Structure 1
Amino acid sequence: MLKFVKNHMETIDGVATYPMISLLIFFVFFTILFWWVFTASKAHIKEMGELPLDNDNQQNI
Structure 2
Amino acid sequence: MGGHRSDITDGVVRAEALRLGLVDTKVAGIDDDWSGQCVVWRVRNRRTPHPPDRAATSDP
TM score, norm. by length of structure 2: 0.30
| Larger helix proportion of the pair | 1
Q: Which has a greater percent of strand?
A: 2
| TM-score, length-scaled by structure 1 | 0.29
Indicate the structure whose relative CO is greater, using CA pairs within 8 Å and at least 6 residues apart.
2
Structure with larger Rg: 1
